[in-house]
Amino acid sequence: MVRKIDYPLNKIRRFLEPGPVVLVSARDRGSDNIMTMGWHMMLGFSPALFACYIWDGDHSFEMLRNSRECVINLPTVDMIEQVVGIGNSSGADIDKFETFGLSPVPATLVAAPMIAECFANFECRLHDDSLIDRYGLFVWEVVKAHVAGGSQTPETMHYLGEGAFMVSGRTISRRSAFKPQNL
């Protein structure tokens, strides 16, 4: 279990902008599900907007569109078997929390459960549903962020296609070369 602290919403780019694979958890009409997702981007600081593509064939698609809520969970590389298993099974067939040994914990502002084992959890409400039909694009507002205390450099996974992942490596700072307004 990862102990977490509240994290400022205008700084969550640190975890989402690098492009990690995330787990999306949903609750709709009494059932929970988790999906693996890699097509996403930051879209605003304040409000904290986050856009993601979801295929309309995914079991979570209608759950997310109907409930208008989710949690974006950030897994670390020690969870790779679960990330791959979740992405290669369907919530129509199995309970993914149970099958993959993950712990649902209540979120604060949304009904969708957070995944306790993940490094960070971002509670989201659907901000704009108007791009779902055209592009499968869900625009979320992140309304609360929970991040593990301590190190801020989780080992994340970044999908390359064809079953391969890049694992995050070292951190380099060039802070002194930035204009103050760009930091």
Enumerate residues 79-98 that contact a second copy by CB under 8 A. 80-81, 84-85, 87-88
Please give the structure tokens belonging to residue 60. Answer: 């979570």
Cis geometry, peptide bond prior to residue 113 (ω within 30 degrees of 0)? no
What's the closest the beta carbon of residue 170 comes to a second copy, in angstroms? 5
Enumerate residues 99-128 that contact a second copy by CB under 8 A. none
What's the closest the beta carbon of residue 180 comes to a second copy, in angstroms? 10
What's the closest the beta carbon of residue 113 comes to a second copy, in angstroms? 24
20 binds a second copy (CB under 8 A): yes
Q: How far apart are CA 167 and CA 159, in angstroms?
A: 9
Q: Strands 104-105, 40-44: parallel, antiparallel or unpaired by DSSP?
A: unpaired
Q: Please report, to the nearest 10 degrees, the dihedral formed by the alpha carbons of residues 29, 35, 41, 44 taken in order.
A: 30
39 binds a second copy (CB under 8 A): yes
For 82, half-sphere exposure in the C-beta direction (CA atoms, 13 angstrom radius) is: 23
168 binds a second copy (CB under 8 A): yes
Whose Cβ is closer to a second copy: residue 107's or residue 157's?
157
For 116, half-sphere exposure in the C-beta direction (CA atoms, 13 angstrom radius) is: 11
Three-class SS of residue 55?
A: coil
What's the closest the beta carbon of residue 135 comes to a second copy, in angstroms? 6
For a second copy, the binding residues (CB under 8 A) are: 11, 13-14, 17-20, 38-44, 49, 51-53, 77, 80-81, 84-85, 87-88, 131, 135, 137, 139, 153, 155, 157-179, 182-183
